[in-house]
Amino acid sequence: MNAAEQAASKQNAGYLAAGMVEDGMVVGLGTGSTVFFAMERLGERIATDGLSIAGVPTSYQAAIRARQYGIPLTSLDEHPELDIAIDGADQVDPALRLIKGRGAALLREKCVCDAAKKVLIVVDPTKMVDTLDAPVPVEVLPFASAGVFRRLTLLGAVPVVREGVKKDGPVVTDNGNFILDCDFKAIADPGRLEAEIASIPGALECGLFCTYGEKITVIVGEGKGCRVVSLQ
Ligand SMILES: O=C(CO)[C@H](O)[C@H](O)COP(=O)(O)O
């Protein structure tokens, strides 16, 4: 798949997801290039069809884009339960377990995913895999980073501190933390690994999303439309 085909697939997925949002909904807004197509289409629906929604952004970048597209914003404080969330993913397996966090927004993305009654994951076909094997990002409290690094190594990872682009030194997340990208190779039991990482003090969240399959619908953008996948 070349870059133009991939962009078209992402647009198809994002636009279909935006069409599933109903008037009056409070919508979790994920981070990344695919979900931004959904935001673009939501903005058009607001401007032309009078769609009335409010969005909860998962990052500064999502908030900035939402404002550009004219999507009114709210917060999890105001709406601890969301009608729906739209987000991207880096990998999706057949049980609809995900690896997320390329954009370092995984902590807020998991909070929003957890708060949503229904989650639409928008991807291009390259994201669909039989076995999750991409590096798993772990958001780490800087105070505890050396200890978390050691514990992740004991779990079999090769952790790498994510470095900034146009910034020397580590990426600092929207929450003021570091990211360790942890290569576990093919992950035999993603749910168990997610629980093991969650048990490390100072590992604030990881990019494995293994417990939300029942409420996730995956929209895979393809050349001329979309394939919709759910466990139901
Ligand atoms: O998890 C994410 C950000 O933290 C993104 O949703 C994920 O990386 C997919 O991004 P894209 O749609 O640009 O491929």
Average pLDDT, the chain: 97
CA nearest ligand 1 atom 10, residue: 32
Number of domains into which the chain is organized: 2
CA nearest ligand 1 atom 2, residue: 101
127 in ligand 1 pocket by Cβ < 6 Å?
A: no
In this structure, are 144 and 223 located in the same domain? no
In this structure, are 68 and 96 located in the same domain? yes
In this structure, are 188 and 95 located in the same domain? no
Choose, from 22, 40, 81, 109, the residue flagged as catalytic: 109
pLDDT average, residue stretch 146-166: 97
In this structure, are 68 and 142 located in the same domain? no
Cα 107 to averaged position of ligand 1 atoms, centre (Å): 13
Q: Are 31 and 103 in contact (CB under 8 A)?
A: yes
- pLDDT tens sequence across 83-102: 999 999 999 999 999 999 99
For residue 121, give the CATH number of its domain. 3.40.50.1360
C-alpha 131/C-alpha 97 separation (Å) is 10
Q: Are 223 and 8 in contact (CB under 8 A)?
A: yes
pLDDT band per the 50, 70, 90 thresholds, residue 113: very high
pLDDT at 232: 82
Q: Are 190 and 93 in contact (CB under 8 A)?
A: yes
In this structure, are 74 and 89 located in the same domain? yes
pLDDT at 223: 84
pLDDT at 212: 98
In this structure, are 14 and 112 located in the same domain? yes
- pLDDT tens sequence across 45-84: 999 999 999 999 999 999 999 999 999 999 999 999 999 9
Cα 146 to averaged position of ligand 1 atoms, centre (Å): 27
Cα 89 to averaged position of ligand 1 atoms, centre (Å): 5
- Output 225 or 46, whichever has higher pLDDT: 46
Task: Please tell me the number of Cα atoms within 13 Å of 188 on its side-chain side.
Answer: 2
109 assigned to active site: yes
pLDDT average, residue stretch 160-169: 95
In this structure, are 114 and 191 located in the same domain? no
Asked whether residue 17 is domain-assigned, the answer is: yes
190 in ligand 1 pocket by Cβ < 6 Å?
A: no
185 is in an annotated binding site: no
In this structure, are 191 and 100 located in the same domain? no
pLDDT at 92: 98
pLDDT band per the 50, 70, 90 thresholds, residue 224: confident
HEC states along the chain?
CCHHHHHHHHHHHHHHHHHCCCCCCEEEECCCHHHHHHHHHHHHHHHHHCCCCEEEECCHHHHHHHHHCCCCECCCCCCCCECEEEECCCEECCCCCEECCCCCCHHHHHHHHHHECCEEEEECHHHECCCCCCCEEEEECHHHHHHHHHHHHHCCCEEEECECCCCCCECCCCCCCEEEEEECCCCCCHHHHHHHHHCCCCEEEECEECCCHHHEEEEEEECCEEEEEECC
Q: Are 12 and 226 in contact (CB under 8 A)?
A: yes
Beta strand 203-206 pairing with 225-230? unpaired
C-alpha 74/C-alpha 71 separation (Å) is 10
Output the pTM of the full model.
0.96
pLDDT average, residue stretch 121-130: 97
- Output 205 or 224, whichever has higher pLDDT: 205
pLDDT at 1: 85
- ∠ Cα 184 119 228 (to 5°): 90
Asked whether residue 131 is domain-assigned, the answer is: no
Asked whether residue 149 is domain-assigned, the answer is: yes
Question: What is the sign, positive or negative, of the torsion defined by CA atoms of 147, 149, 150, 152?
Answer: positive
- Give the domain range for residue 200: 136-205
Asked whether residue 80 is domain-assigned, the answer is: yes
In this structure, are 190 and 216 located in the same domain? no
In this structure, are 178 and 218 located in the same domain? no
